Structure 1
Amino acid sequence: MKQFFEFVKKECFHIFRDRRTLIILFGMPVVLIVLFGFAITNEIRHARIAVLDQSKDALSQGLIRKITASAYFDLTENLRSEKDIMPAFRKGDIRMVVVIPANFARDFVRERKASVQLLADASDPNTSSTLINYINAIILQYQQEKTGVRNLPLTISPEVRMVFNPALKSVFLFVPGVMTLILMLVCAMMTSITITREKELGTMEILLVSPLRPVLVIAGKVVPYVLLSFVIAIIILVLGAGIFGMPLKGSLWLLLGACGLFCLTALSLGILISSVTNSQQTAMMISMMGLLLPTILLSGFVYPIESMPVPLQILSNIFPAKWFIIILKDIMLKGSDLRHIALPMGVLAGMTVFFLAVSLRKFKTRLS
């Protein structure tokens, strides 16, 4: 075991001697946090919503049909009481809850003024703002159809409430995305390039005939990047909290545990890439095309997954970044516990086991 720790120590010294790599690794989180601190508004379709209809009259049912008839919203759940609202949000299945109060039709006809409460999940501020604009336009159109008057003030008055991110700070979306991107780059890309470089230079064979077992050789290569990833994750959290006021409503230990699991998933991907490639250039191209671009485009980091075509929505499920971003937003913004994030954590754990098993099989095949 002493030989293993000496090997890890040697790898750490090797990393810290390369100043250009250190500047990139530690400078990249700062640069990306600043660059991605601005919002990108995109068209959204088929956003999942829930409805709490306390009136249950013809007018309220007509409004619900009007909302769900558009291409922007899909009704996934009818709630029974206000107590069901926050659990519905925490499950992560819906983007908005529409609350229609009791006596909705009576207030509309007699008082000429009725209210509708809109609760949007503002953990993704750009999406929530867009959905609020969509539904306000639908409500206005529905009112005009019922009254036939276009110049009167709104008879149905929406009462908007943003949950989890009342100030609609776009950085609350981009901090988890940047953390995911950085950890994927450091763990997967750097690991695949490092191991492939040893194979390309012919030093991997020398390491494999050393007293250390092959598994410990690979572990010694990746342990420094695990430690480095944790340091970078903490830097991103400190920057997000100190500069932009990024909250942490959930457990810090649960968040760190999720970061550790994602690091293992990314490392297993890096090992898998290195096991099927023989050159650094090939490993870098596979990492860029197979990991970096999907992390940006298919994880919900920049573009809402709901606005993508169905085949891309299905394809996004195979990329770890999507599940890690869900975990980060649930813990940091919603204060979710392990019970609420069990599914994405389980998916990441399953991916890790699968990638490691395939990598080990490929590795043994190359040795034989």
Structure 2
Amino acid sequence: MLTVPAFAQMATPDPSAMAGLPLPAGDVPDASVTVRVLRERMGNNISGQLVTLRVGTESRTATTDAQGRAQFSALPAGASVQASTTVDGEVLTSQEFPVPARGGIRVALISGIQKAADAEKAAAAAAAKEPARPGVVEFGPESRLIFEFQNDTLTVFYLLEVVNSARTPIDIGGPILMELPTGASGVSMMPGSSPTASVSGDILTITGPFAPGKTSAQVGFSLPQVGAASTIQQKWPIALAQLFVAAEKVGAMQMSSPQLTDTREMTSDGQQFIMGTGGRINAGETVSVNLSGMPAQSRWPRNVALGVAALVFAVGLWMAVSPQAARAAEGAKLETRRERLLSEVVALERKRRQKPLAAADETRLQRLTSDLEKVMAALDLAPNEQRL
């Protein structure tokens, strides 16, 4: 059975993962800290709230503005600080962190997280028990098509997420039936797939009704390589919110498709990748991906799991820095990117609490926080004001 690494199925963090977490921000004045106070979720600002910042053995106070932000400026660089406030009797405290000499820090203090989570969980559980109603689902924007080679055979991975954005189960009138490209062989489901997803021959079946949220279907298969070029065609049984395609590049290999509006190359951990993104694919439309300039003798990794791991990681990086992708998906996509970056930042911050980070992890943390800052800045320009 083919395997997708765990980080390919990264879960989005709950608000408690980012509450109190200090995030470097280049657009905040040097040696300054901005504390945003919210109730239950991002965008639900609390104005007029008194915030205390402990600076060494002293304390400073400030009141939040209409955006829920309290700013502390001209702090002593290197000083250890910690923000706190009390909302409806709940004491909220940030992590302790040093004041940077250059740039500032953003931190969010969020009240009522557990109460809101419990209420949401109860409401979702109640809605999920309701009878399925007629409706539509789609493959979400986190669905990906990944290509690599194994012993001169083109290996394809579909990492699909069926998204039901309703609060109740949805019945689309039957299962999703997806006929894989001509010549697909060795078709198998991968770990992480929903038990409602299965394959028979070259047909992927995902059975409904579809529960609220995401239903994962991850399938791998091989296609025979014919010469130096191959064209893969895939008809989509339901709509695909956004097209993402990734391939590890070897030699002069190129990737093109009439459905890809942005294609670029990038390097991650010394490996070259070709990444492509396109717009929405409607139900019944066919996506064609052309791979040309492929080597006659493959120099690609022989370990499927490692190859896919590198590709999935590179996809995440490319999505995090691509302005075209951000524009195409707008607010919803930006929020997804923010949560993914937060997941990685939180993981590295927790690792740093255990022991000093290696130089590579420090560099990665700086890059991730820089990307996160850009995403939050873009969200802050939107009406829902999602930045810290």
TM, length-normalised to structure 2: 0.26
Query: With CA pairs under 8 Å and 6+ residues apart, which has the higher RCO, 1 or 2?
Result: 1
Structure with the greater alpha carbon radius of gyration: 1
TM, length-normalised to structure 1: 0.27
Structure with the largest fraction of strand: 2
